[in-house]
Structure 1
Amino acid sequence: MEKDICFDEINLQLMEAMKNLDTAKVTTILSPLVMLTEGNPKNCQHIIDAGIVSNLEKLLYMSNNIELTKLVLNILKFISRGNESHKQVIIDEGGIPALMTLLATTDNFLLLLLAAEIFAHIALGNDNQRKVVIEESDVIFAFIDIFNRSKSPIIAEALHSISNMVESIDSFFVPFLVTMLDFENENASLFALKMLEIIACENTLKKQAIIKNGGISALIKVLKNGNNKMHEAAFEVLSVLALGSRKQKQSLIKAGVVPLCINFLDLSNSYISILAAETLENIALGNKKQKQIIIHAGAIPRLVPLICSKNLELCKSAMETILRISNGTIATKHMEIESNIYLRLLKLICSPHSKISINAISLLAKLCEGNEKESQMLLEAGIIPSFLNVLELILEPLKPDDLKKCDAATILFSNIMSNSQGQCKIVLMSEVLSLIEKAKGQKKYKNVQNMPPCHNVPSNAENGKSGIICTEEIFTSLDSNDFKNEQRVSGSAAAATEKLYSAGKGVLSQHIELLHSSNVNLQRIALQALSNFAKGTAEQKHILANSGIIPDIIDFLASDDPGVRYNTLLILFLVSNVTTKNLSETMITHLLNLLKSSNANEWCITSKLFVNIAKGSILENVISTKSFTILLDFLDYCDAIYTPMPVIKLLLFEILFGETKFTYLQSLVLKEDGNRLLKLLLSSDPDLCKYGVTLFYLFLTTRNAKKKKAAFQAEAVPCLLKLLNSTNLQYQILSILLFFSEEHLQELMDNGICPYVIEYCHSTEEQTSHIALSLLTNIVWGSKEQIRIAVEAGATDIIINFLKNVKLSPKTQHFCTKVMISLHTILLELPDQHEDIVKLGGIPVVARLLNPKYKLLCETAMSFFERISHSNIDEVQNVVQKFALIPLTKLFNIKDISTQIIAINTVAKISTRTSEQRKVFLENNIMKQFVKLLLSKNADIILLTVKLFAIFANGSVEEKEAVIKANALLSFSNLLYHEIITICYIVADILHDISFNCSYGIQGIIDVNLIPHLMNMLSSSDINLVLTAAKTIKNIIDGSDEERQIIIQVDTELTLTELLHSADEYVILCTLKAIKVICCSNPTLLAKFVPIISEFKHSENANIRENVIWILINSSCGTVEC
């Protein structure tokens, strides 16, 4: 039972096993502790009380055994989950540097993950503990790297906790994140941008921390040099910073953010343009001066074209930004007029999107406010036809949004009427009167007869208005002089308009009642007359389109009488030749039914009508409002016997390649009906197949994840594979398959995708071959079985050939890294492929990638060599060392410490496993490169270097001599006193190994004057160092000539005698053990210590007595004494 476990006894056993370097026994002792500590804080406390944690930290330095290290890390992880005191013990016992060394020296992902999670648990402690973690920048970088690979929730929680440390934000974390923006690793930079956005969203103080630490200039640098993804992330941070105080906004302005935002205002990337506009809008929330700076920088001419974008969000954002920065000055108005803003706003007045319509009306009202010239310009530009729909709102507000439109429209109408003269006022008023007459005649507006005399609208202080504008006042403001002046204007626009409207009303008055007759013949006569009228001039077609009759005749499309249906179709077709704006959604529904008609004349004219519709804007308007079904319904009719196929193709072409394509894609997503797309792919018509492929491709290249999910259909895969060889859309099809492979790789594999991918990897079209290679890498990143299939199909050869021929550059490095990772994956998952990779020439190919200019690619190549160096096949080992040794050694001189460490570690592993490898290493004169590394200021580099020297020092006599000839001993004197005890241990062991049975090694130690340092080690507080020094001294004495031997013995005697006079029992004990080691084969020297040692025969310390007795027994005179 747990209560009977003696943790103190376990600690003693552990220390004894560690002392004897018995890895198996240590593992046996620690294994039960993992089970005891998991989820048991009480046992964790017992382990802490017993002092086991200190030994666990030492094991992290001492052990190279992965399984043993895993046990140690698991125990520490369970302890770190405890309370703050548990976490503090790990810190106090030196856990942080031990874990940091592990992060730097191992490439085992499980060990890295365990170490990172221990750091994460510590980071979730108190602020002081969190500071200990964030002061190690390599930990944060490791967090990011490991989180990107594992998505560990505890690491994510730790990062969030670190980001909320107000006192550390300014001092470390923000500067570190800003520095990360310069990293070549795009994932790290994107992570930094995301963290900066989260920090900036917190409060003004954190925004200031980002600005203070150079965040703005770093973000600007990203915008100047990064890709679209980086631009978007950078603008998201800037947009939040722009919401800060006026002083912070001014910092953005001074840094040059305003002109940079303006440069990004274009239609090539809608999302970036939206973010840029939002940033400007947020800055404009400041004072008037800041608004003026944005205006003078030229924002308005760049924003104006965006308000007509098909992207609704971009349109809204551009309009809101213009509204925000417009300050109502004459100069600003002239700038807006010169940008033709009023022409664009006129188109948007009747937008089905309320927010856009309201903003358009408000902007026009602002433009006309108190200025006759602007009002006149709007009237001459043709505001009247566009304004009719807005005036309807004044008569009958229906919805809350319509009430807002009514208010905005009333202000605009008032501004125009206040500043208009003569004929302009007459034209405008005649339209208003006509509108009211139509409303009364058709009884469409229930409230016209009893309409209240006025509407409440926002006050207009500048014009002296009280805030209430009466409808009667608007109409009566047209005085008799205006009519008289107009009569003297010959051929004016107003006279022409009135003439046309009179003609239109004449026709309508003759036939309006016939249309509503229950007699079909009378309806047919009326429709015939109207169709004859529609066959006239363009003006007559416009009159008919604007008369209000069109909505009334649409229902005749469902009539049982063929003549009525045909004449109705004819009128709609003729009108659609000049405009489609008054055609409604109901008409589309009827037309879709007529496409299935058995009457050839009907579907023929219907098809022509749809051609006009496809070229116009009616489809966009209908889809934007309610139906979302037009395209989908068309696809359902593809197999109808009378379907006019050319019309369907034309419509699809308009959707795919016309101006409104984005809107249609939205409709498809909302429907989420991939079966209709599948129907296109299965069509026997090659054009429709191509359109289906293009639709899939457009679907998947959007940002919306929902669209990608909606697009996948398992049945589509064989169709797409079949089309690969029968169309010229290989790039698009492979792109679709690439998107599918991210979540549906197994479905692709089940359909036998590998041969197709391999085939197109050989394509002469670079774009096609690269997308095929990307798809191949996704397959290789799959399951072991999927990797095997890809390799058997020839994946390894293709990957190696690509890496062999590709021209390395900043543009190609990321893709090359992706491909290199896939080769590394094959190596990891399929060890039997080592020989094949060598035979295919993969080793020299990967060796050329060891270029420090491309950091991530270089690191991946080094990992590859480190992994393949584990191979037991001699041929593989020899080839690796032949091609990789020199390129890896060249990386020792680069500034990046992490890359240096990986290179050193890799060289050590491929050069020290066998005597043959060590021989090649020495032949290439690389030992001197490692001697230089002994002078490094980085402890991890020194540790790796001395470990390599330890291997050679423990080897043959030739290998020992190589260490001496490389002048390594000169650097060892300082390292004997290094702050990291493990380095001291290893250096001491090296000196011992070199001195063992090697006269050249002994002479080398003497020549560089290491004897005094060995004597100093005898007084060390660490028993291990004392004994190692004693063994080395013994080797030197035994191996020296008689004269040198006498000198060293005298020095040794003096040093040991002095230590025996110490008052510290531990020093005495260590000295006695040293005497045993040094004098075990030298009775004469041993006898010299007998008089002094005899004093300790009766010591209370049992260990001292035991050692004294041994010395006395083995001395020449000790036997008599005993």
Structure 2
Amino acid sequence: MRREIIFLQDSRKPIEPKPTLTQSIESLSSLISLTHSIRVFAVKWQLIRNKLEELKSGLVSAEDLDENPAVSGLIRAVMATVAESFDLARSCVDLSYSGKLLMQSDLDIVLGKFDLHLKSLNEIYCSGMLTPGHALIVSKPGIGACKDDLRFYVKDLLTRMKIGDIDMKRQALVSLLAVVREEDKYVKIVVEIGEVLGVLVGFLDTPEPGIQELSAKVISVVAGFDLCKGTLVCSGVIAPLVRVLECGSAAGKEWAARCLNKLTQNADNAWSVSAHGGVTALLMICSGECSTAEMIGPSCGVLRNLVGVEEIKRFMVEEGVVSIFVKLVRSKDDMVQMNAMEFLQAIASGDEITRQMVIKEGGICALLKILDPLSAQSNKSREVALRAIENLFFSSASCINMLVNFGFLELLVHYLRKGEASVQEIALKVASRLCSTSAEAKKLLGVAGFMAEFVKFLDAKSFEVREMAAEALSSMVMVPKNRKRFVQEDQNIGFLLRLLDPEDGNPAYKKFLLSTLTAITSCNSGRRKIVNSGYLKNIEKLADAEVSDAKKLVRKLSTNRFKSMLSGMWHS
């Protein structure tokens, strides 16, 4: 390209025109390219290359502002340093430098100059002279782009986050959030370029809510990768996240809690959260009248992760956590309810004192209220409530009596009869577990009509449901009064014998059915109904197949009184 020569009136010395922004960007690109061929002082040149790429991205954003005096001055300074760097780069490529120590010193000086240029550019941006309207946005690499292109894009976003004004920072964060959500490769690059995490962590303390929230969202995505959690913690992310919990915006608190929820899945990080006042901040959110469901949900999750540390758990209890969470169980929001119920199960697990506190605070009534068929609760909430009642109260006879007095059995049998499939299955599991707690519980279930419901599930489509119902029924008929009730229903015995199809490949299921039939042979009417059922062949085939429980049943039936009725049957 022809270069113009300008002469001043008072001097005949030629003055070359000032370098343009485009020329400076091209020079930076050429220098970056040259540095990749250097094989000596690799660490120094990598640091210089990082500064060059940041500077280039920042100058690209300043395009079309050549006439701005501040930008023009910066361009001249950059070009001078670039020229100096070219000389050093060629010396390193040709190995023509005079000494290692001198070259290292020269490289440090150049690195410092580029750092000053970046600071100057940052000041220009902060002054408001460069606005997003003048910024040239680097296009996001397409599908299948190489790692170098992805790195360049992330570094460009980093530059914008560092030296841009508020709007440019926000746009860069939006772009970064989009790519880390879209592709895991970007998450790895964000972690590799450690400065990105440093900037994101710094943004958590910004007074700008939008910047704070976007940063927390990006960090939350990164925290979702196990290999990245340690790097995040080493970047000092926990303390600023706790500060966001204390005084951030509603959305900021939500995303800070989401981040901590992921990070505290590793118990080693629990102490760090507690040491920075995180437990108190989380309890304030959970008990705050202005807290939203979006804030409370992940906050519950963090606290649930922390209860595994006994000292932190005791602190929570002393701070009134049980009262707070029983209150949350009464919330009108399903997600808040479910999180609260799961937390109470976690904190009271294996802890009788805390479990008694749950009862004292009205936990039983709060859970039963969710099971009220007339209440507007989701099926998912009812499932969680049923599991919570089982986990919290079935280990104590006194608690079971309280449940019975409050009408729990009526609610449970209601869901066995009329509940949605998912709730029905949980109700069956809970009822089955209740059967195994004591003989008194079996009697209560018998009076409440549970055996008829168990029988209905014996031919369910799910093998797991069949087996569960068969086991519960087998347990129930161990009680004499329940056996009498079962035998009184004429269709029960025939139904069980019909289900003993030798072709059915579920041995555990058959074992429980045979156990039930063996138990009812203790009464004459039971044995008589078995013999008269018309399905004795099923027992005979199982006995012939060496099924031990079938053989035992045959022995029970083969008493003197019934031998004449059992002619033709197999005898052991």
User: What is the TM-score normalised by the length of structure 2?
Assistant: 0.61
Partner of 1:738: 258
Tell me which amino acid in the other structure corresponds to 2:288: S
Tell me which amino acid in the other structure corresponds to 1:837: V
Encode CA deviations 1:86-112: one digit per residue, 9 max, x unaligned: xxxxxxxxxxxxxxxxxxxxxxxxxxx
The structural deviation recorded for 1:1052 is 1.9
1:878 and 2:401 aligned: yes
The structural deviation recorded for 1:903 is 2.8
Q: How does 1:480-559 map to 2 (within 5 A)?
A: 512-514=6-8, 550=20
Structure 1 pair 785/671, CA: closer, same or farther in 2 (3 Å)?
A: closer
Tell me the distance in 2 between the aligned counterparts of 1:929 and 1:770: 39
Partner of 2:219: 700
Partner of 1:611: 128
1:1052 and 2:572 aligned: no
Structure 1 pair 1054/628, CA: closer, same or farther in 2 (3 Å)?
A: closer
Tell me the distance in 1 between the aligned counterparts of 2:442 and 2:333: 34
Tell me which amino acid in the other structure corresponds to 1:440: R
1:926 and 2:488 aligned: no
Which residue of the other structure, out of 516, 525, 541, is the alignment partner of 1:1003? Answer: 525
The structural deviation recorded for 1:908 is 2.1
Encode CA deviations 1:631-682: one digit per residue, 9 max, x unaligned: 6776xxxxxxxxxxxxxxxx5423344x555468899974625556666777
Given that 1:699 and 1:707 are in contact with CA atoms closer than 8 Å, whether structure 2 keeps it comes out as: no
Secondary structure (helix, strand or coil) at the match of 2:2 reads helix
Secondary structure (helix, strand or coil) at the match of 1:834 reads helix
Encode CA deviations 1:747-804: one digit per residue, 9 max, x unaligned: 212323111101111233343x532441231331356216725455444443333232
Given that 1:653 and 1:691 are in contact with CA atoms closer than 8 Å, whether structure 2 keeps it comes out as: no
Q: How does 1:458-857 map to 2 (within 5 A)?
A: 512-514=6-8, 550=20, 576=65, 586=75, 610-618=127-135, 652-657=165-170, 659=171, 662=174, 670=193, 672=195, 674-675=197-198, 687=207, 693-694=212-213, 696-697=215-216, 699-700=218-219, 712=233, 715=236, 717-719=238-240, 721-722=242-243, 725=246, 727=247, 729-743=249-263, 745-746=269-270, 747-767=272-292, 770-782=294-306, 784-785=308-309, 788-789=313-314, 790-808=316-334, 812=335, 817-828=338-349, 830=351, 833-847=354-368, 857=381
The structural deviation recorded for 1:884 is 4.0
The structural deviation recorded for 1:863 is 3.6
Encode CA deviations 1:428-455: one digit per residue, 9 max, x unaligned: xxxxxxxxxxx3134xxxxxxxxxxxxx
Tell me the distance in 2 between the aligned counterparts of 1:691 and 1:1017: 73
Tell me the distance in 1 between the aligned counterparts of 2:138 and 2:533: 93
Q: How does 1:217-256 map to 2 (within 5 A)?
A: none
Partner of 1:261: none
Structure 1 pair 709/577, CA: closer, same or farther in 2 (3 Å)?
A: farther
Tell me the distance in 2 between the aligned counterparts of 1:732 and 1:614: 26
Q: How does 1:967-1046 map to 2 (within 5 A)?
A: 967=490, 968-977=492-501, 979=504, 980=506, 983-996=509-522, 1001-1003=523-525, 1005-1006=527-528, 1010=532, 1020-1021=543-544, 1022=546, 1024-1032=549-557, 1034=559
Tell me the distance in 2 between the aligned counterparts of 1:992 and 1:965: 16
Q: Quick one: percent identity of the two aligned structures?
A: 13
Given that 1:891 and 1:903 are in contact with CA atoms closer than 8 Å, whether structure 2 keeps it comes out as: yes
Structure 1 pair 972/550, CA: closer, same or farther in 2 (3 Å)?
A: closer
Encode CA deviations 1:567-623: one digit per residue, 9 max, x unaligned: xxxxxx9x959989x9697369699959999xxxxx9xx869942213542475799
Task: Provide structure 1 residue ranges, at least 5 long, that are not aligned to the other structure.
Answer: 1-438, 443-508, 527-546, 555-572, 598-602, 635-650, 1038-1048, 1060-1066, 1071-1122
Secondary structure (helix, strand or coil) at the match of 2:437 reads coil
Structure 1 pair 611/880, CA: closer, same or farther in 2 (3 Å)?
A: same
Encode CA deviations 1:1-31: one digit per residue, 9 max, x unaligned: xxxxxxxxxxxxxxxxxxxxxxxxxxxxxxx
Structure 1 pair 818/679, CA: closer, same or farther in 2 (3 Å)?
A: closer
Encode CA deviations 1:131-187: one digit per residue, 9 max, x unaligned: xxxxxxxxxxxxxxxxxxxxxxxxxxxxxxxxxxxxxxxxxxxxxxxxxxxxxxxxx
Given that 1:777 and 1:818 are in contact with CA atoms closer than 8 Å, whether structure 2 keeps it comes out as: yes
Structure 1 pair 935/716, CA: closer, same or farther in 2 (3 Å)?
A: closer
Tell me the distance in 2 between the aligned counterparts of 1:1054 and 1:660: 88
Tell me the distance in 1 between the aligned counterparts of 2:160 and 2:424: 59
Tell me which amino acid in the other structure corresponds to 1:959: N
Partner of 1:951: 475
Partner of 2:47: none
Given that 1:834 and 1:868 are in contact with CA atoms closer than 8 Å, whether structure 2 keeps it comes out as: yes
Q: How does 1:169-248 map to 2 (within 5 A)?
A: none
Tell me which amino acid in the other structure corresponds to 2:525: Q
Tell me which amino acid in the other structure corresponds to 1:909: R
User: What is the TM-score normalised by the length of structure 1?
Assistant: 0.34
Secondary structure (helix, strand or coil) at the match of 1:441 reads coil
Given that 1:952 and 1:963 are in contact with CA atoms closer than 8 Å, whether structure 2 keeps it comes out as: no
Given that 1:869 and 1:910 are in contact with CA atoms closer than 8 Å, whether structure 2 keeps it comes out as: no
Task: Provide structure 2 residue ranges, at least 5 long, that are not aligned to the other structure.
Answer: 25-61, 79-112, 140-151, 180-188
Given that 1:976 and 1:984 are in contact with CA atoms closer than 8 Å, whether structure 2 keeps it comes out as: yes
Count of matched residue positions in the alignment of Structure 1 and Structure 2: 457
Bigger-Rg structure (1/2): 1
Tell me which amino acid in the other structure corresponds to 2:2: K
1:913 and 2:423 aligned: no
Structure 1 pair 845/594, CA: closer, same or farther in 2 (3 Å)?
A: same
The structural deviation recorded for 1:993 is 3.2
Tell me the distance in 2 between the aligned counterparts of 1:806 and 1:720: 28
Tell me the distance in 1 between the aligned counterparts of 2:391 and 2:125: 68
Structure 1 pair 1006/755, CA: closer, same or farther in 2 (3 Å)?
A: same
Tell me the distance in 1 between the aligned counterparts of 2:341 and 2:452: 31
1:963 and 2:486 aligned: yes
The structural deviation recorded for 1:1002 is 2.2
Structure 1 pair 441/609, CA: closer, same or farther in 2 (3 Å)?
A: farther
The structural deviation recorded for 1:854 is 5.5
Tell me the distance in 1 between the aligned counterparts of 2:305 and 2:323: 16
Given that 2:204 and 2:240 are in contact with CA atoms closer than 8 Å, whether structure 1 keeps it comes out as: yes
Bigger RCO of structures 1 and 2 (CA < 8 A, at least 6 apart): 2
Tell me which amino acid in the other structure corresponds to 2:252: Q
